[in-house]
Structure 1
Amino acid sequence: MVSVPRLVVAAPASGSGKTTVATGLMAAFAARGLDVSPHKVGPDYIDPGYHALAVSGSGRTRPGRNLDAYLCGPERVAPLFLHGAAGCDVAVVEGVMGLYDGAAGLGELASTAHVATLLRAPVVLVVDASAQSRSVAALVHGFASWDPRVRLAGVILNKVGSDRHEELLREALDGSGVPVLGALRRVRAVRAPSRHLGLVPVAERRAEAVAAVAALAEQVRAGCDLDALLALARSAPPLADAPWDPADEVARAARPGPGGDGRAAAGSEERPVVAVAGGPAFTFSYAEHAELLTAAGADVVAFDPVRDERLPPGTRGLVIGGGFPEVFAPDLSANEPLRRAVAALAADGAPLAAECAGLLYLARSLDGAPMCGVLPADARMAERLTLGYREAVAVGDSALAVAGTRVRGHEFHRTAVEPGAGEAPAWGLLGPHARAEGFVRGGVHASYLHVHWAAAPGMAARFTARCAAW
């Protein structure tokens, strides 16, 4: 049994202020000297960047980690949480959408309520009170009574207009049985800028983000009962699950047989260098991917395709995740030495794994700006956002998966690639979104689909083995 103080910050709907409260609460706890573990329900990459910044106030460094019951499976949620929260004083989990909103058509799966029950964590509901008074009691009562498995243990009132407004809200909630743990006024100064895929990532506005997080911490400190919130987190019962262990996962995945590749690099004398793209253009990644690659025997080295003109010395494999290359297309294109180096590495047959932004970077062009030219495709901004969970199957063998491997993934982009798939596609999407998608060419696997490798550790084992053998 493992005891971790924890709470989940949820809301009736998107736009209620979950990110404001969760990030401010993380920062306020960290300012007290607490070691805070930050988590986010769902596949979103951007909020965890703000979470990681918020918890750095204690002088400790922890990445923001995702808890996604669709991508990783419900059985992995608590183990992944315990892995990320190991040794912390308190963990704060920011929810997604409305409390009971899950994967489309799949009921509660991957909802904030689902994750809260898997973690046996108390829930604090953030309510946008800007256009109501007594009705807030009916709303809170409904959310508290909907699912008896969900422990709705407190309310934070957001966007409160005045002292009188707060008084009316508190009076209405007096008999609800759900305590009010905070009330926050409307504050425009701490709003983070957004664009086509949500908030602007921390990496693109570091100085402004630091100031915004500090302001959120002060707002939460002044408006919330931090002692009561910490006591609530400490009331969470122990979890019986064992923490997720990347070394164990890779060892199991590397065994011959279904789901295994049998050729992991772990234990070999030479650790192949796997270069992982970062910097402001490539900010989307799950922390567990680097941990799995390291456990599989890789030497993971970060590089910035905007600024670095060379790949890390000894690079034998390349991972290019998601981000905003469309914002940095002129800078990426201007870095011709690195584009040539990436193209040469691909031409030599080295393993390259590219997701979404990585796919665009490997294309011939992006909105007319020359890219690496590894793939016979061109990318452009699109009018519509493509967003949602997907099921997929590997069409053929690649550096990441053997043919027939089934995965769950997530699409999140406002760009289009023509053609959308190569002669050898990366995936065949299943169900209502059925189509061939992505490219496999030599050692290259490029696709729009984001896959969480914690649910498919064989990908890290296989990719590292390919890098070691190249």
Structure 2
Amino acid sequence: MVAVPRLVIAAPSSGAGKTTVATGLMAAFAGRGLAVSPHKVGPDYIDPGYHALATGRPGRNLDAYMCGTELVAPLFAHGAAGCDLAVVEGVMGLYDGAAGEGELASTAQVAKVLKAPVVLVVDASSQSRSVAALVHGFASWDPQVRIGGVILNKVATDRHERLLREALEESGVPVLGVLRRAPAVATPSRHLGLVPVAERHTDAVEAVRAQAAQVRAGCDLEGLLALARSAPALAVEPWSAGACAGGAAGGSRPVVAVAGGAAFTFSYAEHAELLAAAGAEVMAFDPLRDEALPRGTRGLVIGGGFPEVYAPELSANEALRGAVAELARSGAPVAAECAGLLYLARSLDGKPMCGVLDADARMSERLTLGYRDAVALHDSPVAAAGTRMRGHEFHRTVIEPGAGPSPAWGMRLPERRVEGFVRGGVHASYLHTHWAAAPEAARRFVGACGP
């Protein structure tokens, strides 16, 4: 049984202030000495970076589409082990999930799986009495979703607050916080959402501190904590990387280099845990600063991020680009997702990259975003041919050609197409996957690192 007090922070729609409230709550409770476990519904990589800054613990995703509904509670229990409180930030609107899949991957579904009370964050900037109808509708839509309170955001004046509170008295849902408009807590955005923490660490620290102060001043922290403690115990066994991907005991541990730094910030915490459990020594490196791969590197993982923002700097690091190309030519396993795909290309926006792939990448005006259902078309260090995996795409770039002679994936949904590259030991694709759903990927990758 897992008995961790928990809250799900949701909203009627995107843009209501979920991230500000969730991050502020995490920081405020952590500031009181509580061990706070941060979680994010859906595949987003950026918000968990702010959550980690607020709590000092890895931000973890709960994605029922990529990992399956059955893994949501075990992954939650793994992340929340030993914590006093867990705060789960929702995605989009409370009931929004994977397109055409009903409630799958919605915040509401995760709240039900976790038996967690929901706090609804409402942008009250352009309404007064109508807020009661809005809250009533969300609270009554699904009786299995327990909305335990409301936090009113972007409230203009004392009079505005009074009107909102009077209206909500009729709804039966308590007001647990009122936040005024506060530009100081805003976080800058660009083409793929918020600017990641790694690119603005000092400013991000100040933003999180301001969010915590705003939440402390405007929210009933004792009431929120009491609501969190009303969540029942979960009958679930925590997920374990060792149980899923444990390698043979003893022997040498091959070094698997994992790209990080400001250009490559997109990764799920469970990936490194699975690689380590499968027998690897996981070592991080920064392609913007390091001129060589970690000593003894026998495998390379390059996740997502923003290489398009740092293309000149990445290109200027000729020594590292050469080392990556040499490792790929040796047949060592290389797994690259999205940003990693671009880095392995011949060029990015005209700037030379690693030249591992016979392809060129560039920025695009079109946003590619959404869940994908894919099948591996060729054997690679990541997956055997025929392996089915779910993932997501999230980018404003294109690569030409979009697939090599041996494509990485055959996309089944939302439309049929081939995508990505398998070449020697290289598996490169736009598709982001979550290895907790397929731990054999970690075992296979480490196994390909050789003796």
Shared fold, TM over 0.5: yes
What's the counterpart of residue 131 of structure 1? 126
Q: 1:330 aligns with which of 303, 312, 315?
A: 312
Alignment of 1:271-350 (within 5 A): 271-350=253-332
Q: Helix, strand or coil: the match of 1:353?
A: strand
Report the secondary structure of 1:409's partner residue: strand
TM-score (ref. length: structure 2): 0.99
Instruction: Give the 5 Å matches for 1:163-182.
Output: 163-182=158-177
1:42: which partner in 2? Answer: 42
Distance 1:287 1:116 in 2: 21
Inter-partner Cα distance in structure 2 for 1:18 and 1:84: 20
**Counterpart selection for 2:150 from 151, 155, 171:** 155
Q: Which runs of 4+ in 1 moved over 3 A?
A: none
RMSD over aligned CA atoms reads 0.7
State whether residues 373 and 414 of structure 2, in contact with CA within 8 Å, keep that contact through their aligned partners in structure 1.
no
- Paired position in structure 1 for 2:385: 403
Unaligned 5+ segments in structure 1 are: 57-61, 252-264
Using a 3 Å threshold, how does the CA distance of structure 1 residues 401 and 96 change in structure 2: closer, same or farther?
Answer: same
1:215 deviates by 0.3
Q: TM-score by structure 1 length?
A: 0.95
Distance 1:204 1:247 in 2: 32
Which residue of structure 1 aligns with residue 360 of structure 2? Answer: 378
Matched residue, 1:257:
none
Does residue 111 of structure 2 align to residue 116 of structure 1?
Answer: yes
1:220 equivalenced with 2:215 (yes/no): yes
Classify the secondary structure of the residue corresponding to 2:361. strand
Task: Report deviation, 1:247.
Answer: 0.8
Aligned pairs for 1:32-71 within 5 A:
32-56=32-56, 62-71=57-66
Cα deviation for residue 267 of structure 1 reads 2.1
Partner of 1:369: 351
Q: Could you tell me whether the CA contact under 8 Å between 1:65 and 1:286 is conserved in 2?
A: yes
- Identity of paired residues, percent? 78
| Cα distance per residue 1:29-82 (max 9 Å; x no partner) | 0110111100000000000000000113xxxxx100000000000000000000
Q: What one-letter code is carried by the residue in structure 2 that aligns with 1:464?
A: V
* CA distance, structure 2, for counterparts of residue 120 and residue 274 of structure 1: 38
CA distance in 2, matches of 1:354, 1:368: 20
Code of the aligned partner of 1:430: R
C-alpha separation in 2, matches of 1:182 and 1:431: 41
Q: Give the secondary structure class of the aligned counterpart of 2:67.
A: coil
Q: Confirm whether residue 246 of structure 1 aligns to residue 246 of structure 2.
A: no
Alignment-mate amino acid for residue 402 of structure 2: G
Cα deviations across residues 125-179 of structure 1 (Å, max 9, x unaligned)? 0000000000000000000000000000000000000000000000000121110
Aligned: 1:85 with 2:67: no
> For residues 398 and 250 of structure 2, what CA distance do their matches in structure 1 show?
40
Within the alignment, does 1:74 sit opposite 2:75 as a pair? no
Tell me how far apart the structure 2 counterparts of residues 11 and 42 of structure 1 sit (CA, whole Å): 14
Assess if the C-alpha contact under 8 Å between 1:266 and 1:295 holds in 2: no
For the 8 Å contact 1:183–1:223, the answer to whether it is kept is yes
Q: How many corresponding residue pairs?
A: 451
- Contact in 1 for aligned 2:372/2:414 (Cα 8 Å): no
1:403, CA displacement in angstroms?
Answer: 0.5
User: Structure 1 counterpart of 2:304, which letter?
Assistant: G
Residue 116 of structure 1 and its aligned partner are, at CA, apart by 0.3
